[in-house]
Structure 1
Amino acid sequence: MSETITRVDWQSWQDSWDRQQEWYMPDREERFRVMLDMVEALAGPAPAVLDLACGTGSITGRLLKRLPDARSTGVDLDPALLTLARGHFAGDERAEFVTADLTDPAWRDALPHRSYDAVVTATALHWLEAEPLRTLYGDIAGVLREGGVFLNADHMADAAAPRINEAVASFHTRRKEREQAAGALDWAAWWSALADDPVLAEPARQRFDLLGDPREPAGPQDGDRPTETHWHLETLRASGFAEAGQAWCSPSDALVVGLR
């Protein structure tokens, strides 16, 4: 790992990940700002935070910049993204990263701490179907201290406004086409660049073997994946959270908050 650290520009990879994600979600920084407002308001200026499906550590980095006395445990299954996270935060004792599958009933056993002040996640849990997600919400309640807060920013919409949703989707499709023509990387192109890096090619290969090759066209999503905000709020309340509410939204996404 030490040789890899000296040969990779971790900040450049973090920046390129952010740009790729912003191509899909131009309001990404706004949702992070509101999320951290909620963390500070409900968990204080020095919280112990669990960053679920942390990826490259996007939330952890913003958390530690805003709240220097915070501590973060990042959890993910993706070996490539965890390699970027561990490399970027190497030497920062406030951040630690563990490998765990959130659909494994024993995923909490991998955590270095028994409870946290806050659990955060963004654009990660929408791939879970309803029952696994319901189970995960219960697990999250179990790792939060009394009075702790859970924040999930993800794809959630109001199905009662179909014309609004359709117009906004068309608007963003045109925007993405313009930006891609100007050189913006989409999901597949970003992973192709990572796989072409001689140092990061091996963790990229491990990721492809474990989770599939993101350079290939994605097939249609099957199953019962919750897409409406009210489902998340109702499920949080039923999973042991004393209160649940919406802190931010756009026509396609929302930030929901559960207070333990």
Structure 2
Amino acid sequence: MTRTTEPMTDERQYWADWQRSWDRQQEWYLPDREERFRVMLDMVEAVAGTEPRVLDLACGTGSISERLLRRLPAAVSVGVDQDPALLAIGRGHFAREPRITFAVADLKDPDWTAHLPAGPYDAVVTATALHWLPTTDLLRLYGDLAGLLRPGGVFLNADHMPEPGTPLLNAADQRHQQARQQRELAEGVLDWPSWWSAAAADPLLADQVAARTALYGDHADGDIHPAGWHADRLREAGFTEVGTVWRSVQDALVAAIR
């Protein structure tokens, strides 16, 4: 990725490079990231059809939306996040894409939905994000999402959801993933701290990185729960049917029908 104070000859390429860099950094943690996205979009299309109106919750740079719009050209997406650096990359990357809009909102704010284009939505999608929230905020958020979705709409949450009843499998998988990560670090892949250091060194992102550090610190710490816990809480929030539609050893994709 080119980072320079000289005028950019290709702004679109610049933002696309940052988008790809973010995706690669996330894949370092989640080697099956594309597979979970595929299953997620399978479910969006199966439940909401080929022209869904989708809310990309805690969208970051818009990774899910990019794959949604590529797969379903008639879809539209609203990306919502609070991170100024990731939103800057997303807005730059999608600057010429009319099918996506971005909104700034803090999911911990009980009035966060006031910052969105009016619902209802056909689908709400999110990945590797809601574990940042404390349980009390997550429970309130699940109720909010039930109100944003149309009847029959779908909520899809892919996140870290290890099962407490499989400690040996969890530990074996963790050792396996750590060994892979060490190999990839030796090949030059950036981990989370290194990626943010690179972003902070870019003159066009430095201010936004400083602003997100003021918001979050190094990393937000929320609560992690197994898939069954999420299913129970979503039913209590008003969802009709909830199930796990994909999982690895320590991660899962939970789908809930409104």
What TM-score, normalized to structure 2? 0.94
The 10-residue stretch of structure 1 (128-137 or 30-39) with the greater mean CA deviation from structure 2: 128-137
CA RMSD of aligned residues (A): 1.6
1:119 counterpart SS class:
strand
For residue 139 of structure 2, what is the aligned residue in structure 1?
134
Alignment of 1:169 with 2:174, yes or no, is yes
For residue 53 of structure 2, what is the aligned residue in structure 1?
48
Q: Is there any run of 5+ residues in structure 1 with no aligned partner, and where? A: none
For residue 191 of structure 2, what is the aligned residue in structure 1?
186
- Amino acid across the alignment from 1:212: G
Alignment of 1:255 with 2:258, yes or no, is no
Q: 1:246 aligns with which of 237, 244, 247?
A: 244
CA contact (8 A) 1:120 1:151 kept: yes
| Identity across matched positions, percent | 58
Q: 2:130 aligns with which of 125, 130, 148?
A: 125
Q: 1:10 aligns with which of 3, 6, 15?
A: 15
1:177 counterpart SS class:
helix
| 1:1-260 equivalences in 2 (<5 Å) | 7=11, 9-213=14-218, 221=221, 225-260=223-258
Q: Deviations over 1:2-41 (max 9, x none)?
A: x999657011001100110000000000000000000000
Shift of 1:129: 2.0
- Amino acid across the alignment from 2:118: H
1:38 counterpart SS class:
helix
Q: Deviations over 1:116-146 (max 9, x none)?
A: 0000000000011222111100000000001
What TM-score, normalized to structure 1? 0.93
Residues 162 and 5 from structure 1, CA distance in 2 versus in 1: closer, same or farther, beyond 3 angstroms?
farther
Q: Distance in 2 between matches of 1:114 and 1:67?
A: 20
Number of residue pairs matched?
251
1:118 counterpart SS class:
strand
Q: Distance in 1 between matches of 2:120 and 2:78?
A: 11
CA contact (8 A) 2:60 2:86 kept: yes
Shift of 1:113: 2.1
CA contact (8 A) 1:4 1:199 kept: no
Q: Is there any run of 5+ residues in structure 2 with no aligned partner, and where? A: 1-6
Q: Deviations over 1:240-259 (max 9, x none)?
A: 00000000000110000000
Q: Distance in 2 between matches of 1:93 and 1:175?
A: 39
- Amino acid across the alignment from 2:48: A
